[in-house]
A and B are shown apart, each in its own frame.
Chain A
Amino acid sequence: MIEFESVGKSYGSLKALDGAELRIPEGSVYGIIGPNGAGKTTAMSIMAGLLKRDTGKVRVAGEDPQRDSKAVRAAVGYMPDFFGVYDGLTAAEYLLFFAATQSVRAQARKAVVADLLALVDLEDKADDDVNGLSRGMKQRLSLARALVHDPSVLILDEPASGLDPRARVHLRELVAELNRMGRTIVISSHILSELEGMCSHLAVIDHGKVVVEGTVDELRNDAVGHRTVRVRVHETAVEAAERWLRDQPEVGSVAVERDVCDFKFAGDDAVGAELLRRAIGADIPVLEWTFQGQSLENIFMSLTVGAEGEQP
C-alpha cells in the first residue's frame, strides 16, 4: 500500500530522512515511533504528497506522490499534528468547506458531513463555532475533515497529542472503527502505550533511518535481539538455578528476586525450548517458565538515541 525505498530528504545540512525503508501493508494500522527530529513528520509529509523527497522511491496506493500528487492526495486523508481553524465557521461549515475543496459533489456534501459528524460523535456540535470546541472535539473534527473525501489511506500525525485520557480512548476506538471499515492507517505518536493498543504494525525511526519495523508481536519478541524469560523455581534451588543459568552460553544477564530468576537470552523459540529442556535435565526444579514480551517503551528506548544525542 505504501512503500519507501531508500528515501532521503535533507533540509540544508540536516538529514531528515536518510535511506528510510518502509513497507506499510494494506489494511494495517501502522505506527511510526521515534524521538523528536527523527523524521516522522517528514516521512508523513512525503506520503501525503506535500514534500518532495531528494532520493529514493515512494509508492502510495500504487502512485508516486511526486509524479502524480493529485492521485495520491485523492487516496490519502491527512491529519497534521495541529488543528487549523477558520474564524467564524461552525463545525458543519468547516467540513462543508473542506468537502468542497476535495471536490465532493455539491449535492452529496450535506449528507457526507452529517455522516462524518455522526461518526466522530459531534452531531450535536454541528452548529457550534469551531473555535469553541474542546481539544478532543477539534481532533475528532480534524479526523472527520481528513475523511471527507473517503480516502483509502489515513495519515495521522501525532493525533493523540495533548488529549485527555477519555479523548484518547475515544480516538483509539475511532481508529479501530476506521480500520474495520477497510482503511489503511498510518499513525505517529510519542505516546507509545497508545500505539501499542492501536497498531498492528510498528516502525521505529531514528535519525532519519527506520531502525526496525514489523508487527507489534515481532517487535516485542525480536526487535532488540534478546528476549526475557521469567523462571520461578523451588525456593530451595534458587542459588543452584542462578549458577546454572550463568553457565549457559545463550544466557545474558540474570536477575534474581526471591524465587524468581529473570534472564535474557539471544535466540528464537527453539533456543528457549532447548534451554528449558536442559534446565529440567540438570534437575532444576522449574515451577514456571514464561517468555516475557518487550514493552514498546523498552524497545523504543533500546533502539533510539535521544534528541540530545544521549543513548538512553
Chain B
Amino acid sequence: MNPVTLREMRERFRTLRTPVVMSLFVAIFGGIVWLSYSGSRQASYFLFGRAVAPSVITESAGRLIFRVLLLALLTAVVFVVPAQAAPSIIGEKERRTFKLLQVSQMSALQIVLGKVTAAIAYLGLLVITTLPLFAIPFAMGGATVGDVVRGMTVIAVTGFTVATVSVWRSSRARSTQSAVVGSYLLVAVLIVGSAIALAVEGTVVDGPESVTVYTGVVPQDGGRELISVWFNPYLALVDSTSNVLVFQQDPLGGTPYSLFERVLLKRQGVAFSSFGGGFERDVFVDGPGFGGGGFVGGDFGPGFNNADTTIVRRRGDVWVGYLVLMLGISGLALWATVRMVRVPARSERTLGKRRRRSTNASS
C-alpha cells in the first residue's frame, strides 16, 4: 500500500473526530431513509382503495429512497472530498515535510496518488458505512444491482475528480485556507457553473424553435445536444440510474430526479407541452396533490398508454460521457500536480519554500 495513504489514514483514524463524523454521517443518512420511507407511507394512504397494486407502491417507495440516498451521497462527496484533499500538498509544505517526501524514493506520481487515495479512502469508508441503507430500497424493488453499480460508479468518479482537482489546487496554493477555498470554488464551477451554462445553453443555443412538443409520435426535431449536461454530476447520476425514456409507474408521485429528468428529456427532443394535459412522464394520479379525476395510469401524451411508453432514443448516455470527461479532467489534474511535485524542481516554491520578502533571506 502507498505509504503516504497509509500514514494519512493512520493519522486520521487516531483522532476522535473520525468516529464522531462517521456516526453523524450514518445518522444523517439513516434519517434521510427514515424520512423518505415515512413520506412514502403517508403518500400511500391516499392510494387506499385505488387500482394500484401494493407491490407497485412498495417499488415506488423504494425508488424514492434509493434516489434520495444517491443524491445525498453525491452531495456528501462534493462537500467532503475538497475538505480532505485540499490541505494535502500545502499541508506537507506547512509542516515542512514536503521536501522529505520529495527526496525519498517515491515518484511524484506515487506521492500525488497517495494523497488522492487518502482523500477518497476516507470518503470510501463513509460510503461503506451507508451501504446497509442501500439494502432497503434494493429489497423494496426500487433499485436494481445495475442501478447501484452505475450510481456508485458516477459517485466514485466524481469523488476521484474532485480529489484530483483539489490536490492540484493544493499543490499551487500558498496556504491551506486558500487551497480549501479554491477547491470549493472549482467544485462550484463544476456543479453551479454547469447548471448556469445549461440554463444559458437551453435558452440561447437550444432556442424555443427547436423544442419539440411531444405529441405521441417520434419527435420530428430530435432535440439538440446540450453540451453542459456532460459536466454536471447530478445529471450524470440521474441519467445513470433512471432511463427517462422508459415509463415507470410512480404512484407516489415524482422523485427528486424529476427536475433533472426534464433536462435529459429535452435533449432527446421531448418537451413538456402546454396543451391537453401535457406530457406527463410519471403516472398521472388523481388524488390529493395530483390533480383531479380518479384516473391512474400512464400518460405520455395523446395516443399513448402504459403499454406503449418507450420513446425513440436520440442521444447517448449522459453518464458515460460524464465519466469520460471527468476521467479526462482527473488525468489533466494529476499530470499538472505531478509537474508541481516532481524534483529536481525549477524553483524553490515548488519545494515548499514560501516566497521570500527579502532576497537576503534566501539560502
Footprint of B on A, CB under 8 Å?
11, 14, 16, 36-42, 45-46, 48-52, 65-66, 69-70, 73-74, 76, 78, 80, 82-89, 93, 97-98, 100-103, 145, 149, 307-308
B96 in contact with A50 (CB, 8 Å): no
Which of B97, B344, B363 is close to A40, meaning CB atoms less than 8 Å apart?
B363
A16 in contact with B362 (CB, 8 Å): yes
Which of A39, A50, A101 is close to B105, meaning CB atoms less than 8 Å apart?
A101
Which of B3, B92, B361 is close to A97, meaning CB atoms less than 8 Å apart?
B3
What is the CA–CA distance of A65 and B101 in the complex, to the nearest angstrom?
A: 16
Asked if B227 is at the interface of the complex by the 8 Å CB criterion, the answer is no
- Known A84-B100, A86-B7, A87-B11; judge A16-B363 contact (CB<8 A): yes
Within 8 A of A (CB), among B309-336: none
A86 in contact with B11 (CB, 8 Å): yes
Footprint of A on B, CB under 8 Å?
3-4, 6-7, 10-11, 14-15, 92, 95-107, 343-348, 351, 359-363
A41 in contact with B363 (CB, 8 Å): yes
- B residues within 8 A CB of A78? 99, 103
A36 in contact with B361 (CB, 8 Å): yes
B360 in contact with A37 (CB, 8 Å): yes
Known: A50-B343, A51-B345, A98-B104. 4 other contacts (CB 8 A): A49-B103, A49-B343, A84-B95, A102-B105
- Specify the chain B residue showing the minimal Cβ separation from A142: B100
Among A36, A80, A101, A103, which residue has the most Cβ atoms of chain B within 10 A? Answer: A101
A76 in contact with B103 (CB, 8 Å): yes
B351 in contact with A14 (CB, 8 Å): no
What is the CA–CA distance of A46 and B7 in the complex, to the nearest angstrom?
A: 28
What is the CA–CA distance of A78 and B104 in the complex, to the nearest angstrom?
A: 9
Which of A36, A97, A102, A103 is close to B363, meaning CB atoms less than 8 Å apart?
A36
9 contacts between A and B (CB under 8 A): A14-B359, A51-B351, A52-B344, A84-B97, A84-B99, A86-B11, A88-B14, A89-B7, A145-B100
A50 in contact with B98 (CB, 8 Å): no
- A residues within 8 A CB of B359? 11, 14, 37
- A residues within 8 A CB of B103? 48-50, 73, 76, 78
